[in-house]
A and B are shown apart, each in its own frame.
Chain A
Amino acid sequence: MPVSVKEYLRERFMPHLWCPGCGHGIIMNNLVRAIASLGIKKNDIVMVTGIGCSSRISGYLDFHTLHTLHGRALAFATGVKLARPDLTLLVPMGDGDALAIGGNHFIHAARRNIDITAIIMNNNVYGMTGGQFSPLSGYGTLATTAPFGNIYEAFDIVALAKAAGASFVARTTAYHVSSMTEILEKAIKHKGFSVVEILTQCPTYFGRKNQRGDAVEMLNWYKDHTTPIGSGKKEKDATLIERGIFVDEQRPEYCEEYAKVIDRGTKKQEG
C-alpha cells in the first residue's frame, strides 16, 4: 500500500533537529508506515515521549502529542491510557530515557501489561547532552563521561522486558527497515505492553567516540552483527545480536482487568 508519510508529519517543523546520519528519522518513517498500514486514525493516537533526541519525535508527528519529563513518558502514558483505554498509546524513548532515569517505570509498565507500545530507540548514548555513556553503551566503550573506557555492562533490553512481564518483546535495527515496519505493526496491534528495541546509529557521538565510522558504516555494522532469532549463524558466533520477535503472548491486560474491578465495585455497591 503506498503511504503518504507527509500526511502524518507536522511539516512546518522540518527540517528536524536530528543530526545528518542519525537513525531516528528512519524509525519515524517506519513507524508512520506501520500506523498507516494498520489504518489507525490520527485522532485515536496519543504519542507520549520523555526527554532526549528520540523524544523530539512527538513534535514532528500529527497525533495527540505529549512531550513530558526525562524518563517519565510511560508514567504519563499510563494515566492517559487508563483514563481512555480506547486510545492507541505510542511511547518512543531513548535508551537512557527508558532504562536509566525511567527504568523503574519501564519494568512496572511491563509488569502491569498495560496496552502501550514502548519503542526504545537505542543509540547507545545520551545524544542530546553531548555523548555521555548510557545503560546501553556497553563495557569498554568511550563516552564524554567515560574517557578511560566505560566499566558498566549494558542492559539486555529484551531479557529485561521479558523478565519484567512484557507480553510482546522484539528487537530490530535501523538497517532492517522492512522487518521494522512489520514488527511495529504487530507491536501496536498487540493487546498488552509491547516493547520494541530498535538499534539506531548515532554517528555524531557514539560513532565518532568509538571509531564506528559514518552512518553507512554503522548501518552495515547492524547488518553484519545481528542475525534473525534461531539462525544457525548465532551458534557459530555467539557475539551476534539476535533480532525478531522474542515474546508474543496473550495475557490479561491492565485496563481490561480494571474494567472488571469497576464491575465488581459497582455490583458490590448495589448488593
Chain B
Amino acid sequence: MDKKLLFVQGNEVCVEAALYAGLGFFAGYPITPSTEIAELLSMRLPQRGGKFIQMEDEIASMCAIIGASLTGLKSMTATSGPGFSLKQEAIGYAIMAEVPCVVVNVMRSGPSTGMPTKGSQGDVMQARWGTHGDHSIIALTASNHQDLFLITVEAFNLSETYRTPVILLLDEVIGHMREKLIMPQPGEIPLVQRLRTSVKEGTDYHPYLPREDGRLPMSDFGGVHRYNVTGLMHDMWGFPSDNPQVAYGLMRHLVDKIDQHAHVITRTKEFFLDDAETVLISYGSSARSALHVVENRRARGERLGLLELQTLWPFPAKVVRERCSRAKHVLVVEMNMGQILLEVKKTVDDPDKVFLANRIDGTFISPTDIRNVLRVIQSKGI
C-alpha cells in the first residue's frame, strides 16, 4: 500500500492522530501555541460528523469535554500554560468522576503570561500536581512527529482503559516544528474503544463498581441506565458518601489503578545505554538535542547513552533506576529549572551523580548547551 507522507507541524500531527483514535468531540479556546489544534479540528471534525465547539473560556472547554465524554464520545481539549492552570479544577473532576478524556498542553514559557511564543517544559509538575487533593495522573510526551502520532493515540487508549484524563504534554518546539510524518494506515495502531457495561436495562448497574481486573464498564449518558456522577466522594452507585470506608476505598482505587499499572503504562526509548558511562535523560523537544550529542560522542567512541521518557507520569522510576545504576554521571536535559531532575534524584541510588543541563530563557536547548555542562561534569573545565 502506498504510504501517505505529510510534512506538518506537531499540532497537526496531534490532530491527525486524535482523529485516527476516533475523536468525536473537541472543545477549546484560542491560546498560543496550541491554537492550530482548535483551528484544524473546527474544519476536520464536522467533515466527519464530529462536534467542535469554541467555548467562552478554558474552564468551560474542559467541562464540556467531560459532559460529551459521558455520552460516549472520545473527547479532547487543547491549551497552553495559562489555560492549563484554568482547567485544573475540572481535570480533578474528571479524575474523581473517572471520565476518559485527553487534555493537550502545548507548553510555553511561564509563569503567568510568560513568553507565549517561546518553548518551555515548565508544566511537568503542574501536570502531576496541578489539581488539588491526592491523585494519580497519566502524562505523555514525544520528541518527534512519528512518535507523537503514536503517543497521541496512546493517550486516548490509556484514557479509555483507565477511565481517567490523560495529559499530553507537548512543547512549543514540537507543536510548531514541521517535519515528516508517515501516516499510519487504518488498523496499524490498535485502538481501545469505550468499555460499555453488559448489564441489561432494568437491572442494577453500578457505575463505580470495578470488575475483577479493576476496569469499570461505562454506560452512556442518555442510555438505559440512569445513574449519578459527582465530584463528591461517592459510592459504587455514584452517590455522595462521607463514609470513611467508602472514601478510603475510592482514594485507593483512583491512585492504585494507575500506580499499580505503571509498568504497563510507562514508555521509554533507549539509545546506546548498554555500556553508557554517562546517561542523558530527556523528553519532548529537548531529547532531540540530547540525542544529537549522544550520537556525535558515540562516533568519537565516548560511552554516552540517552534514556528518552515518553511517559512522564506515572514516572518510569524502575527503568530510570536500572538504566542509571552503572552510570558514572546522569545528565537530565530539560527546559525548566529541573522538574524531572528532582524525580531522577529521588529515584537513583546516588543523587550526587545527577546533573542538569537546562534552558529557561525561551531559547531551545542546543547540543552546545548540553556539551557545555558535560564538559564541567566530566571535569574538563569550561
Contact = CB atoms under 8 A, between A and B. Distances in A.
Interface of A: 13, 42-44, 46, 48, 58-59, 62-69, 72, 75-84, 86-87, 104-105, 108, 258, 261-262, 264-266, 268-269
Given A43-B223, A76-B63, A79-B25, A59 B47 contact: no
Nearest to A270: B47
A83 B230 contact: no
Contacts of A42: 226
B63 A69 contact: yes
Given A63-B226, A265-B47, A80 B231 contact: no
Given A79-B64, A84-B222, A266 B59 contact: no
Residue of A78, A104, A261 most packed against chain B (CB within 10 A): A78
Contacts of B229: 65-67
Contacts of B228: 58-59, 65-67
B20 interface: no
A65 B93 CA distance: 15
Interface of B: 24-25, 27, 43, 46-49, 51, 53, 55-57, 59-61, 63-73, 75, 89-90, 93, 221-224, 226-232, 239-240
Contacts of A59: 228, 230, 239-240
B90 A72 contact: yes
B68 A80 contact: yes
B63 A64 contact: no
Given A13-B239, A265-B46, A69 B71 contact: no
Contacts of B71: 80, 83-84, 87
A258 B51 contact: yes
Instruction: State the main secondary structure of chain B at its contact with A.
Output: mixed
Contacts of A108: 55-56, 60
A63 to B, nearest CB: 6
Given A43-B222, A79-B63, 18 more contacts: A43-B224, A64-B221, A64-B222, A66-B221, A75-B55, A75-B60, A75-B67, A78-B55, A78-B60, A78-B67, A79-B64, A79-B67, A79-B69, A83-B24, A87-B222, A108-B56, A258-B51, A258-B53
A82 B71 CA distance: 10
A223 B170 CA distance: 59
B16 to A, nearest CB: 15
B79 to A, nearest CB: 15
24 contacts: A43-B223, A59-B228, A65-B226, A65-B229, A66-B229, A67-B228, A67-B232, A69-B89, A76-B63, A76-B66, A79-B69, A80-B70, A80-B71, A80-B221, A81-B67, A84-B222, A87-B221, A104-B56, A105-B56, A258-B46, A258-B51, A258-B53, A266-B47, A268-B47
Contacts of A79: 25, 27, 53, 63-69, 75
Contacts of B89: 69
Contacts of A63: 226
